[in-house]
Amino acid sequence: MLGSKKKYIVNGNSGIKAQIQFADQKQEFNKRPTKIGRRSLSRSISQSSTDSYSSAASYTDSSDDETSPRDKQQKNSKGSSDFCVKNIKQAEFGRREIEIAEQEMPALMALRKRAQGEKPLAGAKIVGCTHITAQTAVLMETLGALGAQCRWAACNIYSTLNEVAAALAESGFPVFAWKGESEDDFWWCIDRCVNVEGWQPNMILDDGGDLTHWIYKKYPNMFKKIKGIVEESVTGVHRESILDGLKRTTDMMFGGKQVVVCGYGEVGKGCCAALKAMGSIVYVTEIDPICALQACMDGFRLVKLNEVIRQVDIVITCTGNKNVVTREHLDRMKNSCIVCNMGHSNTEIDVASLRTPELTWERVRSQVDHVIWPDGKRIVLLAEGRLLNLSCSTVPTFVLSITATTQALALIELYNAPEGRYKQDVYLLPKKMDEYVASLHLPTFDAHLTELTDEQAKYLGLNKNGPFKPNYYRY
């Protein structure tokens, strides 16, 4: 998989007609070898939905009135009111951001140019629920150029860039999202995308599963016409994002700081490597003996959190578990210890236990709080324990180009797949598709791939055009 996002597609019912080719070879998605339980589909609201996310300061954050967008009557320049955003007048600012993003999304723009004549998504009605940023706007406009009709909501109550949502609404996209939604607003926006007279989706693009869950819960009959779902789950794999988030929020120097990273999976490995490179003294906690051994062999000391909690300067959670850092740990931390989370959900740090009368909360700046004990000790809590890299920093547009291009290709494949190719199951994206997306990005670097000779390809047992690695290969 490329980038920091894991992408899955879930086949719905029948497909149609043509299928697309990737680098001269047709290939199905590889069936995911593990069983998928009900938990991801049946949750009421994902923790990630209320994770704080602010990739840039929105133009409308401080200037807009407090009137809920649901109470406003707004129309775009074409007279359409089929949207709900903070302020449609901010569309010009959002358009500039989208144009900037297009420059760093070469593969998606190349796909738009190559395929817009063929219209491989003609007839597709895509309902989406993702972070609404400039990069997402480029994806949506690409899907539109390829023939799809789209309706969109935000997968996170803090993630929407209001000016970008306005630009999309001005361009005719039914967008229902604004930064700072309530939980009720969140579900209302999703419902406005789905429950439309005379329009029914046949494809879903989801990030976190909330849209899929809502349709499953409220409109199960819709699945009879849905051909498939592309699901994307965000992780903190991107190495630089932990440093970026900590620097932006605390302006700290990392050299000589003692840091404990809870979890040594993909996210933890990236965090540890980045912090070690900056001169930090890094400890690791882990429950899995294999990951623990990897940490030891990478030069990190494996400890229990209780053993180092009094001495460390920074505590970072990235386990995906709950109550990793408890109130007992928080009570024992040293003065000015920084506490943050890089896991997908906001369950890892027991923030609720800090909301008690004897503790004082003091807002320092956006996404930075001091929590002060009666004796004067304070800890620095970042993003209220929510996902740090999406709350306090950015993900490079070029990385998002990789993920957005694979999303577009997955939608094209599922929409055009003939009946019977995919069962009602969950499939991982094939290596062939990731390789194709990677190849579309290489010209940006003026990179030149070496090609196998026939003899070399035969020796390795490979097709000259790929895939070049088995499905189990981890990059």
Q: Which of 207, 115, 105 is nearest to 152 (CA)?
A: 207
267 is in an annotated binding site: yes
Print burial letters for 91-111: b (CB count within 10 Å at least 16), e (below 16). Answer: bebbbebbeebbebbbbbbeb
Q: Which of 307, 306, 388 is nearest to 348 (CA)?
A: 388
Residue 388 phi, psi dihedral angles, 5° rounding? -65, -45
266 is in an annotated binding site: yes
Q: Which of 12, 167, 144 is nearest to 97 (CA)?
A: 167
Burial of 335 (0-12, 13-18, 19+ CB in 10 A): exposed
**Structure tokens of 426?**
């969950």
> What are the beta bridge partners of residue 25?
22
Distance CA(419)–CA(13), nearest Å, equals 8
Q: Which of 268, 321, 389 is nearest to 47 (CA)?
A: 321
389 is in an annotated binding site: yes
Distance CA(364)–CA(230), nearest Å, equals 39
Q: Which of 436, 342, 352 is nearest to 110 (CA)?
A: 436
Q: Are 140 and 203 in contact (CB under 8 A)?
A: no
269 is in an annotated binding site: yes
Binding residues for NAD(+): 265-270, 286, 389
Annotated binding site: 265-270, 286, 389
